[in-house]
Structure 1
C-alpha cells in the first residue's frame, strides 16, 4: 500500500499493512496502539550533505530520517510525528536563508517546507530558533501547517504563568480519531506542550531583551498541565527542548527534563537539546532514569540524536476505561539512519525520500553557491604549517572568534568584567594525516566551506573560570607537545609524536615562553610525572607577571571544558558558560561581522632561548614560502624526510 507524505496525524489499520507492531496486533476493542515519532535538533539538516566540507554524508538529513518515518507509520495503526525544536539554525542553509535570501511575507522556510511535506503534527521551539531574531522566527513559523507551541517564553509576564502573554500558544489540544484493536474508531484529545531553556535570554540577549521574557520550565509546566487536563486532554505529550540533567529542580535550570517528567499528568516526554540519544548507556547512572524501560521518572521518554541522525520512537498501548484514556504499556527506542562499522567507516541504513529532497532542492542549490563564495576576507594567510612551533594564524582566528563571542556572552552575568583569554589548538597539523594535512587558505576571500579547514569538529563553545596559577598549569599540560632538549644539541627532534596536536592549546591574551630544557611536567594522560619541572616561564598578563590568584575566563570548547585531554582547570566543574553555538558557527559569524579579518599571529608565545641549540621538525612541503614570515622564531629549510614531509630547523 503506498504511503502519502502529505500532512496526516494518524493512519488507520488495514490488511495492507505488514509487520504491525505487537501493540497493534494485541490491542483489544477498548485499547489502541499509538506510535509517537520524534525528530529533534535538526538544525536545518534536510539534505544528507555537509556544507562545510562541501560533500555528501550518510550521517545527517531529515530526508534520510523520512524513510524511517515511512516505515514506522507502516508498522502501526495510529501515529504522530513531532519535532522537538532547533530546526531553523545550525548549518549554512540556515545562515543563507537568514543572512542572504531573507524571509519575506509569504515565503516558506525550507526546513518548514520539508516538515510540511512529511506531515508533522506539532513542534516546539528550541533555543536556536531565536538566533536570527523574533521577526525572522515569526515569519518562518507562519509557513508551517502544524502548530508550534512554547509555554515558557512570553511577550509579557503576568502574576502567574496562566496570566502570561506568551509568544506562541503554550500548548495545543487536538481532536483526533484513533483506531482501536477492533478496527473501529474512537475520539481522543491529545495535548502538546513545549518548553525551551530559559537561558535563551542570555544566549540571544540582543534579540530578546526588552521583547520577551522566559520562565522556569517547571514553573510553567505546573501551571499549564492541570489546565490542559481541565480542558479535556486525554493524553499530554511534553515537547521538552531541554536535556536530561539533574533530578533535583533548581530555578531556571537548563536541562530540566527529569523534574519535568515527574510532573503528574504528562504521559510521554520528548527530550533534546543535548545532541545525545535516549534510551542509551549515556544515561545509565542518572537518578530517576531507567534506560532499560526507556523512562524518566517512570514516564516514557526519548531523545532522537541530532541533525536527523536518529528518529526517537515511543510506542504506547492506551486503554479507554471509565470514560478516559490511560497508558497501560510502553516502549521507547531511537532508530539510527546509519551504523558505524568496526573499522570506523559508515554504512547508511536508509536512503533519502525523494519528496523531501525535492521540497528543498532549490534552497540546497542556492546554499551550495553560498558556501562556495566569499563571506569575508582575510588580509593574512591562514595556514597551520608552523602551528606546533610558533604562534599561528589558523589558531589565531579561532581564538579571536572565541574571544569575540564570549565577550558578548559574559555581559550581564556574574563574570562580566573578568579578563577573557582564549584557548585553541591546531587540528590539521600533519602527523598521521600526512604531509598534505594542513590548513591553507590564501590571503583574500574566505568562503564558508573554508571554515571546516580551520575547525574540523562540531564542538560547541564553552567558558571556564580559573585563576592565574591554573592558567600556568594548563599551559604546562599543553607543553607536553615537545621533547626535552639538551642545551647545545644540534638538530634534536623537537616534536613528541605521541602527543596529539588537538591537545596543544595556545592561550591567547597572555604571553609566555616554553623552556625546552625542562622535562614535561605532565605525561600523555595528563598526570604529573615531573613535579619539579616548569617549562612555562615569563608568563605575563597585560605586560606584568601573572597574578596566581587573579581569576580569568577562558574561552574554549565543550571537549576541553568537559575534561577532554585532562587539562588542569578543565574538568567540567569550572564551566561557567555552555554556549548553544558551535565553534564553526561562531567563526563564520565573526568573519561575516568583521568583513575583513586580520588573524596575523601576534607571537604571544615562543621558545625560551637556548644558546648553541638547534632542533628539527616536520611539516608540509607547501610550508616553504611561509617560513620567513613566522613571528618570534627563526626557521630555515633542512631537507625532506623519507615520508614526504619537509624538514625545517629552528635555532633556539
Structure 2
C-alpha cells in the first residue's frame, strides 16, 4: 500500500523525534498499511482522568510540570491521527475537578448560561466524538455539571445514572443523559473507497457516586450496576444498527470477582455480549503495561485485552493517550472486527538519571483557548491567607506523625468543636481523622506537599487538601476507633522480627485511605498481619496491629462514645472502613475541608504545624524496613519525631530511599 503524500515509513524512535521537532514524518499503523479493499483501519483515541489539567502546570507547586496536561496530549493527536487510516477521539471522564483551576471556576468565577468551561474549550478545539462522566464530575453539583456539559461540542453518554429511583427494567430508567450514541462515520478502506460505519458509544460511571457525593445527589439521582445497565442497553444499540459497540467505562479493572454495584467493573463489563472494545479509567493506572494489572485472570496486561476484547487505560492528568486500533472488515452491509491492538502512549519519558524529559510540546490552539482562565487561576492560588511558623511537608507522612496532616486535623477539630458546642454532643471528646493526599506513589517523586515557613497562600491550602470534600462528623465507640486505625494500618506490609530492609509500604493501598486519628495515642505493630482486607472484611481476627491505644493518657474504653471529624467520603463509607458509614453521621457541614483550613489559618494568623507525635511504630526486634519518598526529604529527615530514619541512597524513578529502623 502506498503512503499518503508527504508521509514516509520510519521507526518509532525517529517518529518521536520527528514529532518533537514538528516534522511531518510519521509511520502508518500496520492495520492501515495492510487493509484490503473490504477492510479498514479504525483508531480510537482516549483521554481519561484529565482532572482540569489543561496546561502542563502544577498550580500547587506553582511551576511547570512535563508529566501532565491535555495541551501536551493534544499535541500528538494530529500525528496519531496521521498514523491511522481513520480515527475517532473520546474522553472517559473525570475532567471537571482535580486542580485549582477547577475550584476557581466553580467557586470564584462560576458558570452562567452560555459560558464555556476551560476544559470544554480545550476539548472543543480537539474535536472529540463522544465522552462519558466520571465520579468527580458531580463534586460541584448537578446544576454546575450540566452547565458545563451544555458547552461541549460533542455528546456525553451515561447508561447508569438515573433521575430518582430505579425502574424494574433498566431500559425504563429515566436517565439524565442518553445511555449511548451511535456515530455514523465515513471511513476509507484499503482500496481508497469510502463507506459509512456506525460506531456506538455507551458510558458508565461508578455507582459509588451516591456515597461520595451524597450531598449533591441524594434525592435527585440514583445509579444502577454497571454490568446490569450494559446488558440492557447493548442489545438495543445492536438493534439500532451499531456495527461496533465501544464501552466508555469510567471504572477500573478488578479481578476479585464480579459483585453487585462494583466500583471497578471494567473486566466484567468486557464480558457483556455485544461489547467489542472497552476504554477504562478511574484508577489512574496504565493498561496495557508491565506491572499494574499482571496476574488478573481475564486481563492480558501485555496484549491489552479484557475477556479477550481490546481495552486500554490511558493514565491520568493527560500523562498518556490511550489507543485502540481496530482492523475492521465489511461483512455484507455491516462491519466486524478482525484484529486489534492496544497501547497507552506517554507524553514523557525519564532519562538515565531518572529526570523527566518531555517528548512533546504544547498544542498552541489548546493553550490559547484557556490562557485567560490559566492566568486567573495563577492569581487565585497566589493569594496569601496567613503564615506558618515552620515548614509544612508530607515527605514522611506515611512513616511518622506529620505536619501536613497535623494542620488538617487541627483545623477539623477546631471547626467541629465549634459546630457542636451547643448541641447534644457538646460534652463528647472530639477526635480528627485525616490522610496524606500527596505522598509520592503513582504521582511521582515530586508529588509531595512542601510549603516553606512564611506566607501561606490558597495554593498551599489546596496542596494540603486536594479534594473539595465537605466536613462531616461521625459518632462511634472506642472499639470502632481502634478498627478504623486497624484498617488504616493496611498501608504497611508485615515486617517480622529480624527482617532486614523489608519493603514497608503496601503499594496497592491508596495513601488517601491511610487515616491518622488525632486526639488519641497509639502504636502500630508491624510484626502482626493486617486485621482487615482492602474491603474492610475481618480476615485475621486475632491480629492487633494497633497497640497501646490511649485516650487522655488511659487505655481507651471500647464502649466510650467519640465524635470523629472527617470528610464526606470517609463518613459515607468511602474506603470500606469497618462500620464507618452514613448511619454514623451526626453532623453534615456546608463547608469544604479546604475552606475550614483557610478559616482556621485566617483566625490563627500564624499557625504552628509541628506534629505532636501521637503515633509511632512499635519496636520490632532486629528489623529494618525500606520506603521511598521525594529526594527533598533529606533536608527534613533529622526533624522527624517518633521514628529513626536513615538515608538509604537513591530509589527508582527519581525517588530517594530511606531505612526505617524498627
Determine which of 278, 297, 306 is the counterpart of 2:316.
Answer: 306
- Once the two structures are superposed, what CA deviation does each residue of 1:584-625 show, in whole Å capped at 9, x if it has no partner? x975354357684656669865799xxxxxxxxxx9999xxx
Name the structure 1 match of 2:274.
265
Distance (Å, rounded) in 1 between the aligned partners of 2:5 and 2:404: 61
Contact 1:511-1:604 at 8 Å conserved across structures: no
Q: More deviation in 306-315 or 164-173?
A: 164-173
SS in 1 for 2:268: helix
Over 3 Å counting, the alpha-carbon distance change for 1:476 and 1:86 in structure 2 is closer
Name the structure 1 match of 2:162.
154
Matching of residue 135 in structure 1 with residue 143 in structure 2? yes
Matching of residue 591 in structure 1 with residue 597 in structure 2? yes
Identify unmatched segments of 5+ residues in structure 2.
Answer: 9-26, 418-427, 440-444, 492-502, 506-510, 531-544, 568-574, 582-590, 617-632, 643-662
Residues 36-435 of structure 1: pairs in structure 2 closer than 5 A: 36-156=44-164, 157-246=166-255, 248-280=257-289, 281-374=291-384, 376-377=385-386, 381=389, 383=391, 394-400=404-410, 421-422=432-433
Count of residue correspondences: 536
Shift of 1:342: 3.5
Over 3 Å counting, the alpha-carbon distance change for 1:441 and 1:264 in structure 2 is same
Shift of 1:535: 12
Contact 1:403-1:422 at 8 Å conserved across structures: no
- Once the two structures are superposed, what CA deviation does each residue of 1:118-157 show, in whole Å capped at 9, x if it has no partner? 1111100001011111111111111111101111111133
Contact 2:431-2:520 at 8 Å conserved across structures: no
Shift of 1:105: 0.9
Over 3 Å counting, the alpha-carbon distance change for 1:312 and 1:592 in structure 2 is same
Distance (Å, rounded) in 2 between the aligned partners of 1:605 and 1:306: 34
Name the structure 1 match of 2:20.
none
- What RMSD over aligned residues (CA atoms) do the two structures have, in Å? 5.1
Name the structure 2 match of 1:581.
none
Distance (Å, rounded) in 2 between the aligned partners of 1:101 and 1:178: 42
Name the structure 1 match of 2:536.
none
TM-score by length of 1: 0.70
Contact 2:99-2:466 at 8 Å conserved across structures: no
Over 3 Å counting, the alpha-carbon distance change for 1:63 and 1:535 in structure 2 is closer
Determine which of 20, 25, 47 is the counterpart of 2:33.
Answer: 25
Shift of 1:294: 1.0
Which of the pair has more CA radius of gyration? 1
Contact 2:521-2:551 at 8 Å conserved across structures: no
Contact 1:13-1:183 at 8 Å conserved across structures: no
Over 3 Å counting, the alpha-carbon distance change for 1:472 and 1:308 in structure 2 is closer
Shift of 1:28: 0.7
Distance (Å, rounded) in 1 between the aligned partners of 2:335 and 2:298: 25
SS in 2 for 1:38: strand
Shift of 1:450: 5.2
SS in 1 for 2:163: strand
Over 3 Å counting, the alpha-carbon distance change for 1:15 and 1:33 in structure 2 is same
Contact 2:412-2:597 at 8 Å conserved across structures: no
Over 3 Å counting, the alpha-carbon distance change for 1:468 and 1:57 in structure 2 is closer
Name the structure 2 match of 1:35.
43
Shift of 1:188: 1.2
Identify unmatched segments of 5+ residues in structure 1.
Answer: 1-11, 408-416, 479-497, 515-519, 527-533, 558-570, 578-584, 609-618, 634-652
Distance (Å, rounded) in 1 between the aligned partners of 2:429 and 2:374: 43
Name the structure 1 match of 2:646.
none
Distance (Å, rounded) in 1 between the aligned partners of 2:57 and 2:31: 36
